[in-house]
Amino acid sequence: MRSAGIVLALIVFVFAAAAPIFWLLLSSVLQQQALITVPPDLSPQSFTLGNYTAVFESAAQLWRAIANSLVVSILTTALAILLGAPAAYALARLQVPRADTILLMVLAAQMFPAIVIAIPLFITASKLGLIDTKLNLILVYLSFNLPIVIWVLRGFFTGLPAGLERAARMDGATVAQTFRMIILPISLPPLFAAAIFAFIEAWNEFFFALIMTRQTAQTVPLAISAFAGQYQTVFGQMMAAAAISVAPIIILTILLRNTILRGFADGMLKG
């Protein structure tokens, strides 16, 4: 009786979580005629890959947007790790005056509503001629990615055994050498987890991209939004465009599920 209840709840859960995404993928491979039949015509001849080819042919800006998104997401992630990893290490393991205050500020920085920094940053970027450049997005995205990276990595560094540095120092290694040759090599999994978070956040970001780009530096979310506005009655193509934008993230998420599950739940709960 009780296990029947659990099974029923699981069915409801699976349906609620998966049905919309399943419908996204299913409509992306159905012909327009099948989609505007009520109920949708799911016979074998309705299936097609034409929506995908049509999206890539009709939307030249989508190709450019994918290239832009890749460049922006990868570079902002790399910068966040490069700046964030040493900072996280210092906060976790070195004598830093007011480390607690700095940490609280990093934590609060993750909560900043984008709108409050977007207005001044837009004005500054306009004055510097950075509007509609990838460099601008790469820097602006550090405003949320750097705090995330510092937070996730600090949690990991704090948990390392206390004797590590002492042993290295007895062998005459400097702090920088210890960090580079002892700490970094054993930190690859959390570095990877932090990078994945940063990449997903940058890939999905819409608000700053909407304000700070026009044509040249347009990213995928903007291209999808523009496409959906332009072709809002061509449902199959609209879903194909959406599927293209979520595919890399879905694949990453499934491949790295354990890293993500462990990384973010722990990071948000423990100080």
Partner 1 sequence: MALGAATEFAAGGGHRRAREGLVALYFLGPALAMLALLLAYPVLYSIWLSLTDAKLSAGRLETPFIGLENYATLFTDKAVRGALFNTLYFTVVEVAAVVLLGLLTALLLNHPMARWSGFRVLLLLPWAIAPVANAVLWKWIYHSNYGILNTLLLQLGLIDTNKTWLGDPFGALNMVLLVDIWKSTPFIAILLLAALQNIPKSLYRAARIDGASTWDAFRYITLPSLKTALAIAVILQTIWSLRTFDLIFVLTKGGPADGTVVMNFLAYRVTFNFLKFGYGAALANLIFMTSLVLSIFYVRLMKPGVRP
Of residues 213, 220, 229, 225, the one with CA closest to residue 248: 220
Encoded tokens for 97: 């005056």
Shortest reach from residue 12's CB to partner 1, in Å: 9
Q: Could you identify the residue written with the tokens 């990838």?
A: 134
**Longest CA pairwise span in the chain (Å):** 75
Question: Is residue 104 involved in binding partner 1 (CB under 8 A)?
Answer: yes
**3 state SS of 172:** coil
Which of 86, 168, 194, 218 binds partner 1 (CB under 8 A)? It is 86
Amino acid found at 160: L
Question: Is residue 215 involved in binding partner 1 (CB under 8 A)?
Answer: no
Which of 43, 57, 60, 111 binds partner 1 (CB under 8 A)? It is 111
CA-CA distance, 94 to 106, in Å (whole number)?
17
Q: How many other CB atoms are there within 10 angstroms of residue 142's CB atom?
A: 19
- Among residue numbers 15 through 54, which ones bind partner 1 (CB under 8 A)? 16-18, 20-21, 23-24, 27, 35-36, 38-40
Q: Which stretch binds partner 1 (CB under 8 A): 48-56, 130-138, 185-193, 196-204?
A: 196-204
Which of 200, 213, 217, 218 binds partner 1 (CB under 8 A)? It is 200
Total chain residues near partner 1 (CB under 8 A): 109
Shortest reach from residue 72's CB to partner 1, in Å: 14
Cβ nearer to partner 1, comparing 60 with 115: 115
By the 8 A CB rule, do 138 and 79 touch? Answer: yes
**3 state SS of 30:** strand
Cβ nearer to partner 1, comparing 71 with 206: 206
